Chain A
Amino acid sequence: MNLLSLFRRQRDKTPAAAAKERLTILLSHERVDVTRPDYLPMLQQDILAAIRKYIDVDENKVDVKLERAEGMAMLEVDIELPGGNSPVRIRGGRGIEAPA
Chain B
Amino acid sequence: MAKTIVITSGKGGVGKTTSTAALGAGLAMAGKKTVVIDFDVGLRNLDMIMGCERRVVFDFINVIHGEAKLKQALIKDKRLENLAVLPTSQTRDKDALTRDGVEKVMEELRDEFDYILCDSPAGIERGAHMAMYFADEAVVVTNPEVSSVRDSDRVLGLLSSKTKRAEKGEGPVPGKLLLTRYDPARVTKGDMLNVDDVLEILAIPLLGIIPESPSVLKASNLGMPVAMDEESTAGKAYRDAVQRLMGQQIEHRILAPERPSFFQRIFGRTA
Contact = CB atoms under 8 A, between A and B. Distances in A.
Contact of A41 (B54, B62, B223): B62
Interface in B16-61: 48, 53-58
Main secondary structure of the interface of B (DSSP, over half): helix
Interface of A: 2-5, 8, 15-16, 18-19, 22, 25-26, 30, 33-34, 38, 40-41, 44, 59-60, 62-69
A54 to B, nearest CB: 22
A65 B55 contact: yes
A64 B57 contact: yes
Contacts of A18: 221-223
Contacts of B268: 2-5, 8
Contacts of A64: 57-58, 72
Contacts of B54: 25-26, 66-69
Given A34-B91, A65-B57, 5 more contacts: A2-B265, A2-B268, A3-B266, A33-B90, A60-B69
Between B54, B55, B220, the greatest number of chain A beta carbons within 10 A of the residue's beta carbon is seen for: B54
Contacts of A25: 54
B63 to A, nearest CB: 10
Nearest to A7: B268
B218 interface: yes
A80 B13 CA distance: 44
Interface of B: 48, 53-58, 62, 67-69, 71-72, 89-92, 217-218, 220-223, 265-268
- Tell me the dominant secondary structure on chain A's binding face: helix
A22 to B, nearest CB: 6
Contacts of A8: 268
18 contacts: A2-B266, A4-B268, A15-B217, A18-B221, A19-B220, A19-B221, A22-B221, A26-B48, A34-B90, A38-B62, A38-B89, A38-B92, A41-B68, A63-B72, A65-B55, A66-B57, A67-B54, A68-B55
A41 B67 contact: yes
